[in-house]
Structure 1
Amino acid sequence: MTILGIESITYGVNDLGTCRRFFADWGLREVAHDETRARFETLNGCAVQLALADDPALPPAFEAGPTLREVTWGVATREELDALRTRFAGQPGHFETDDAVACIDPNGMSIRVVVTTKRALDVKGSPSNVWGQTLRVDTPSPVYDRAEPVEVGHVVFFTNCVAEQEKFYHELLGFETSDRYPGRGAFMRCAPHGGHHDIFLLQLPDGKRGLNHVAFTVRDIHEVFGGGLHISRCGWATQLGPGRHPVSSAYFWYFKNPAGGLIEYYADEDMLTPEWQPRDFEPGPTVFAEWAVDGGLDGHTRRQKDAKAPEGKFMTERKNG
């Protein structure tokens, strides 16, 4: 049994209209909505579901305010789903149907497993020409007007029980640990072969539980920039970025999310195999980000926030004083 990745996420929100506008700007396709709910999809059919926070059908919240209520993971076949039923039995909040098994993880987050319905895509990012390896010939790299996320790539939670959660995801779902902040955090991937992490668990000194962020995979670094500039032009606030994570090698751009926590575009993460050995890191600003733009880039000037827009047709042109 191998978890393939995130199938869908569900938020409990206070302002459905604002959240619908945000996720449309984010680049998702709205496939359904009514007065209390909305459903969006990424390019491969990974779903983002929004429901008013007081909807009794939602799992309980693990923090106050708008936040994530459930993460649904996918497996390839019904046989793999059925093999999980005995593992889930007896877990807190356990329930099951013909099409799903679910429970509550040690941090209070509802998790569900279903057979995947995500679509296979023929989508490729732009290759990079690096010293000694030329992958792009007679073809310029793209410039994106906005992002169209491929899928929900990972989720990050604040927890008060990181060791218990790491054990839970390893034993129940077969996740592998990629790297650690000893006693403080665990980066975990769904399977031995895969991207650097599908979930990151971070224990704060004050023991706060909650959502840190949800990350959306885009095709390449150019789409990170194009998507971020578009979101900036739409008036949404940057938390941090663009920048680069040294732990996973990924490029990122974080924004504040009206549905709860932060939200991230990212690309170019490390791909790991069973040969990978987890590393230990001491938390710190330069471990989190090799470099980052504080406050983001302005979507109109294409410069750091509050910087003066360029003048003239060329960088060397200057207006006469």
Structure 2
Amino acid sequence: MHIQGIDEITFGASDLATCRRFFTDWGLTLLDETPQQLVFETLNGCRVRVAHGDTPGLPPGVEPDPTLREVVWAVGSAAELDACRERLRGQPGYIDDGQRVGCTDPNGLAVRVQVTRKRPVQLECARTNTWSERPRVNRPAPAYERAQPVEVGHVVFFVLDLAATTAFYEQCLGFVVSDRYPGRGHFMRCAPEGGHHDLFLLAPPIPRKGLNHVAFTVRDLHEVIGGGMHMSRCGWTTELGPGRHPISSALFWYFENPAGALVEYYTDEDELTADWTPRDFTPGPTVFAEWAIKGGIDGHTRRQVNAEAPSGRFMTDKPKA
């Protein structure tokens, strides 16, 4: 059995109009809209649902809305779904409707597995010229006016019992730990070979359950910047970024999300194999971000928020002291 990543997520929220505007600005495609729910998708067909809290069949949340109510993980075949069926059978909240199997994880989250609906996509991405390698020849790097997320790359939750929740994902879904905050957090990937993490479990100093953020993968750093500045122009609030995570190497930009907690654009995370040895880190601001811009970049001035707007002159075009 091999979990391939996230196939669908569902938020519970009451202000669907604001969520519609937010996720459209974020770069998702609206597939369906009813008075009760919105359905979006990313470039590769990963789905994002936003549903009213009283929608029939919506799983309960681990915290009051707005928050993430359900995560659906992907497998590649019916045979792998059968393997999940055997592993999950007998778990609390077990369900099986023929197309999806699932249960409730130890933190209270609705976890589902289905044969993936995502489609392969081939995208042109920026190539980086370094001192040693110069793959980009006679071609400028791209610039983006906005982002179009490729997929939902990972989810991050606050958990009450880190050990039990980690063991569930290891034993029932085959996840492996990539790196650790000992006793405080586990970065986990779906399989031995893959991106640095698909799931991050955090036990905060003051115990609680809830959503920390949902992360959307984009092509490259230039799309993180273009997407973030577009969101800024649309009036949405930056939590932190752009910046870079030292642990996963990913470049990021976080925004406040009307459907719950935060959302992140990110790119360029580490790729790991079974030869990787998990590392232990002490939580702290310099471990979270090698560098980051507080307040983001203003999409109009293209400078840090509240910084002086450009004058139209060259930087060197000023009188000598």
TM range (shorter): over 0.9
Q: Secondary structure at the match of 1:80?
A: helix
Q: Tell me if 1:278 matches 2:278.
A: yes
Distance, in Å, in 1 between the alignment partners of 2:292 and 2:215 is: 17
Gap runs ≥5 in structure 2: none
The residue identity in structure 1 corresponding to 2:310 is P
Which letter maps to 1:255?
F
Q: Which whole-Å CA distance do the structure 2 matches of 1:97 and 1:56 have between them?
A: 16
Q: Distance in 2 between matches of 1:124 and 1:172?
A: 36
Report the counterpart of residue 4 of structure 2 in structure 1. 4
Matches within 5 A, 1:218-257: 218-257=218-257
Secondary structure in 2 matching 1:133: coil
Contact 1:311 1:318 in 2 (8 A): no
Q: Tell me the distance in 1 between the aligned counterparts of 2:233 and 2:219.
A: 21
Question: CA offsets per residue over residues 205-243 of structure 1, 9 Å max, x none?
Answer: 111110000000000000000000000000000000000
Q: Which residue of 2 aligns with 1:163?
A: 163
Which residue in the other structure is 2:28 paired with? 28
Which residues of 2 match residues 18-97 of structure 1 at below 5 A? 18-97=18-97
2:307 aligned partner, one-letter code: A
Q: Distance in 1 between matches of 2:116 and 2:55?
A: 25
Cα distance in 2 for residues equivalent to 1:117 and 1:217:
17
- Asked if the contact 1:2/1:174 (under 8 Å) is kept, the reply is yes
Task: Give per-residue Cα distances to partners, 1:118-173, cap 9 Å, x unaligned.
Answer: 01111132111111111111111001000000000000000111111111100000
Alignment correspondent of 1:289 = 289
2:106 match: 106
2:94 counterpart letter in structure 1: H
TM-fit CA distance, 1:65: 2.4
Q: Conserved in 2, the CA contact under 8 Å of 1:312 and 1:318? A: no
CA distance in 2, matches of 1:183, 1:5: 25
User: Is this contact kept in 2: 1:12–1:259, CA < 8 A?
Assistant: yes
Q: Distance in 2 between matches of 1:125 and 1:191?
A: 25
Provide the residue aligned with 1:309 in structure 2: 309
Following the alignment from structure 1 to structure 2, what is the Cα–Cα distance between the partners of residues 145 and 189?
31
Percent identical across equivalent pairs? Answer: 61
The Cα of 1:55 is off from its aligned counterpart by 1.6
What's the offset of the Cα at 1:97?
1.3
Match of 1:207 in 2: 207
Matched residues, number: 320
Shift of 1:317: 3.3
Query: CA offsets, 1:261-309, max 9 Å, x none?
Result: 1000000000001100000000000000001001111110011110111
User: What secondary structure sits across from 1:232 in the alignment?
Assistant: helix
Superimposed CA distance per residue, residues 156-202 of structure 1 (whole angstroms, 9 cap, x where no aligned partner)? 00011111111110000000100000000000000111000000000
- 1:125 paired with 2:125, answer yes
Letter in 2 for 1:203: A
For residue 6 of structure 2, what is the amino acid of its counterpart? I
Q: Distance in 2 between matches of 1:84 and 1:263?
A: 29
Is residue 2:148 matched to residue 1:148?
Answer: yes
Which position in structure 1 is the counterpart of 2:182? 182
SS at match of 2:68: strand
* Contact 1:216-1:266 at 8 Å conserved across structures: yes
TM-score by length of 1: 0.98
* SS of structure 2 residue aligned to 1:191: coil
- Judge which range, 171-180 or 123-132, deviates more: 123-132
Runs of 4+ in 1 over 4 A off after TM superposition: none
Aligned counterparts of 1:85 and 1:186: Cα–Cα separation in 2: 25
Distance 1:267 1:206 in 2: 30
Instruction: Give me the whole-angstrom Cα distance separating, in 1, the residues matched to 2:124 and 2:116.
Output: 21
Give distance in 1, aligned partners of 2:220 and 2:61.
34
State the 1:318 CA deviation. 4.7
Question: 1:313 deviation in Å?
Answer: 4.2
- Farther off after superposition, 111-120 or 81-90: 81-90
